[in-house]
């Protein structure tokens, strides 16, 4: 447990906990107001720490935001990565839709953080979009294209099929207040969306 070396890196438990508290509060604020609209004062208030204390744990506002985005991208792409070229085509895509909707339901703040960033022209993640993301989508699109060629999936432009999954699932997180305002009380948006999207993609994809 003891760490005798003088200039060591590992964080203490209290440091870990405070960093997490800050990142959690920052996610609240950044996801609601975007990078420029968010203030350290708000993050300080939500986290319960003082503003200088925030800047003891992170060198700058920019750095807190960058940390959140870095963690996000991995979580965000996991469901698509899990699409198995060896599985049953329709079942695989439906499972992807299901996982992506779960992500919207369980991590709506992350969805909105990402939406804010892309809406603002993605200045901080453009490289990731044109790099990792494009490679992954191209790769999985090729899998879809092959399934279509073999007649095991309805013929559709694979990239746009993937866009449609993103659009439909993220809508329920990003436009949550609109969805609830229009549905009115007594609804469970995500449960209804889960059934609806299952029907939609089944009809669309079964050859």
Partner DNA sequence: GTCTATACTCTGATAGAC
Partner DNA sequence: GTCTATCAGAGTATAGAC
Select from DNA, its own copies, none the partner in contact with residue 11, using the beta carbon and a kind-dependent cut-off of 5 to 8 Å: DNA
Indicate the residue among 64 and 162 with the shorter CB distance to DNA.
64
The footprint of its own copies (CB under 8 A) covers 32-38, 112, 115-116, 118-122, 126, 129-130, 133-134, 137, 154, 156-157, 159-161, 163-164, 166-168, 170-172, 174-175, 177-179, 181-184, 192-193, 195-196, 199-200, 203-204
Minimum distance from residue 94 beta carbon to DNA (Å):
42
| 11 in contact with DNA (CB under 7 A) | yes
Minimum distance from residue 49 beta carbon to DNA (Å):
5
| 120 in contact with DNA (CB under 7 A) | no
| 5 in contact with DNA (CB under 7 A) | no
What are the structure tokens assigned to 173, written together? Answer: 């997180």
* Pairwise CA distance, residues 96 & 102, whole Å: 10
| 116 in contact with DNA (CB under 7 A) | no
Indicate the residue among 13 and 195 with the shorter CB distance to DNA.
13
Interacting residues with DNA between 30 and 69 (CB under 7 A): 38-41, 49-53, 55-57, 59-62
| 19 in contact with DNA (CB under 7 A) | no
């Amino acid at each position: 447990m003891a760490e005798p070396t003088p200039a060591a890196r590992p964080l203490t438990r209290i440091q870990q906990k405070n960093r997490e508290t800050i990142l959690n509060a920052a996610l609240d604020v950044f996801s609601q107001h975007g990078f420029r609209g968010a203030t350290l004062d708000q993050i300080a208030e939500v986290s319960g720490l003082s503003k200088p204390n925030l800047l003891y744990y992170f060198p700058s506002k920019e750095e807190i935001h960058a940390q959140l985005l870095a963690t996000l991208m991995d979580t965000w792409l996991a469901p698509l990565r899990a699409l198995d070229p060896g599985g049953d085509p329709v079942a695989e895509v439906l499972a992807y839709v299901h996982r992506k909707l779960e992500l919207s339901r369980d991590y709506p703040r992350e969805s909105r953080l990402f939406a804010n960033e892309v809406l603002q022209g993605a200045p901080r993640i453009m490289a990731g979009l044109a790099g990792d993301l494009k490679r992954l989508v191209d790769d999985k699109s090729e899998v879809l294209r092959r399934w279509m060629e073999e007649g095991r999936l309805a013929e559709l432009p694979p990239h746009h099929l993937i866009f449609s999954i993103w659009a439909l699932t993220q809508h329920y997180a990003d436009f949550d207040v609109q969805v609830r305002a229009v549905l009115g009380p007594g609804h469970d948006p995500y449960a209804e969306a889960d059934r609806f999207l299952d029907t939609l993609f089944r009809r669309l994809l079964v050859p």
